[in-house]
Amino acid sequence: MTVECVAILAVLGIFTFSLARSGRRTTALALLPLLLVPLAFLAGMPLAATLASVTDIPRGTVRACVTLAGLVAACVLFGMLCGNFRSSRTRRLYLIMCGGFSAILTVILLFNLMTPLN
């Protein structure tokens, strides 16, 4: 799933950059937390290797915890940034869409991490 996370980061990064260049900086800022879950998944690899060599914590557990921490951080940022939208309908839609995307991506990444354990 490393390649998939890099692809997600590239697509979302390009989309956010193009929104910022077109003058929609607030919208581009609101999309930045979508990058946290794939970044946390990728950051979990070297962190898991480092912690596994120092402690007895399994690598899969560390990677899962770092990915879940990325989801929590993204959802907190979604909640903070939804105040930038004027209508409550837009706020609700933003939270559902972005939170749903991050939650589904996290479930897929965690399922992929746990599959080799079976």
- pTM to 2 decimal places: 0.91
pLDDT band at 83 (very low <50, low <70, confident <90, very high): confident
Q: Residue 38 corresponds to which tokens in the numbers above?
A: 């794939």
Torsion of the alpha carbons at 76, 81, 83 and 87, rounded to the nearest 10: -110
CA-based radius of gyration for the chain: 16
pLDDT tens, 3-16? 999 999 999 999 99
**Residue 85 vs residue 36, higher pLDDT:** 36
What percentage of the chain exceeds 70 in pLDDT?
97
